[in-house]
């Protein structure tokens, strides 16, 4: 059976690291890329250097993307899945969050995904078996979340890009999908200041999300959905958003966001 290869951003911890371990256990070769080079180096050592390659990558820097992808494909032989996982979150009142923090959110969460998709296109297109891009979106891309305004906006952008490219790139035998979890037990939600996390709680682990990433990477290409909500709450909100009137969606999400 042909070896498959996945390139993971934000692989040093949390969802990225959990996904790397799961794919490696399933026999994939994994590219571990993160700004924290020490973290991915340790993870590569844990997984085994025959199955894992570690590299430094700032997703906001397009030049670093090209170098990282070229190096990975040279090592692995092909690119089957690009997982755009790297992301950051600032919570709290919009006006009390600095513009620098809002801009940083967009740089990492939006430009990082744009850079990855654009830089990886030729490698993805060259895969004769068909390739996939999997973007980490969020349940915050279902309806804008109070006290998570720029984070929510960034994930709406990821959702829109995913939908557009999934249609556009089918001509090149490339599927593009996104993963939409509610809050996950990672460092990102530590001390998060938003009413929604206090009301909804944190019920998902990084391993829960990794399992859905694996399903998206291995599901039937033609039948696989574009969006993959993770967990009962996210699935319920996703499906209800398409059925309930907009004023009701607004009221529900206003209540969720209140402290």
Provide the H-helix boundaries in the chain. 14-25, 37-47, 62-76, 99-106, 112-125, 149-168, 195-200, 206-218, 232-241, 246-257
What are the φ/ψ torsions at residue 137 (nearest 5 degrees)? -95, -140
H or E segment and range at residue 131: strand 131-136
Cα 210 to Cα 23: distance, rounded to the nearest angstrom: 9
What are the φ/ψ torsions at residue 140 (nearest 5 degrees)? -70, -10
151 in active site? yes
User: Of 90, 151, 214, 238, which residue is the catalytic one?
Assistant: 151
The 3-state secondary structure of 59-106, one letter per residue: CCCHHHHHHHHHHHHHHHCCCCEEEECCCCCCCCCHHHCCHHHHHHHH
Tell the residue number behind the tokens 């039948």, with chain if given: 223
Cα 67 to Cα 57: distance, rounded to the nearest angstrom: 9
State the catalytic residues.
151
């Amino acid at each position: 059976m042909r070896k498959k290869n996945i390139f993971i951003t934000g692989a040093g911890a949390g969802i990225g690291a959990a996904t790397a371990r799961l794919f490696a256990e399933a026999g994939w070769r994994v590219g571990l890329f993160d700004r924290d080079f020490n973290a991915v180096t340790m993870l590569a050592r844990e997984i085994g250097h025959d199955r894992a390659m570690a590299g430094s990558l700032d997703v906001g820097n397009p030049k670093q993307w090209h170098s990282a992808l070229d190096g990975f494909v040279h090592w692995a032989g092909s690119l089957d899945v690009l997982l755009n996982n790297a992301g950051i979150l600032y919570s709290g009142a919009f006006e009390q969050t600095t513009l620098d923090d809002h801009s940083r959110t967009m740089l990492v969460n939006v430009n990082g995904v744009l850079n990855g998709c654009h830089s990886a296109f030729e490698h993805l297109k060259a895969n004769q078996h068909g390739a996939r891009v999997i973007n980490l979106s969020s349940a915050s891309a279902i309806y804008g979340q109070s006290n998570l305004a720029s984070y929510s906006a960034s994930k709406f952008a990821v959702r829109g890009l995913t939908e557009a490219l999934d249609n556009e790139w089918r001509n090149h035998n490339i599927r593009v999908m996104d993963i939409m979890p509610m809050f996950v037990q990672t460092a990102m939600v530590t001390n998060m200041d938003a009413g929604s996390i206090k009301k909804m709680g944190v019920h998902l682990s990084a391993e829960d999300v990794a399992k859905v990433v694996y399903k998206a990477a291995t599901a039937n290409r033609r039948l696989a959905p574009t969006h993959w909500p993770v967990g009962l709450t996210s699935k319920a909100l996703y499906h209800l958003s398409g059925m309930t009137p907009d004023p009701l969606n607004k009221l529900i999400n206003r209540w969720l966001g209140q402290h």
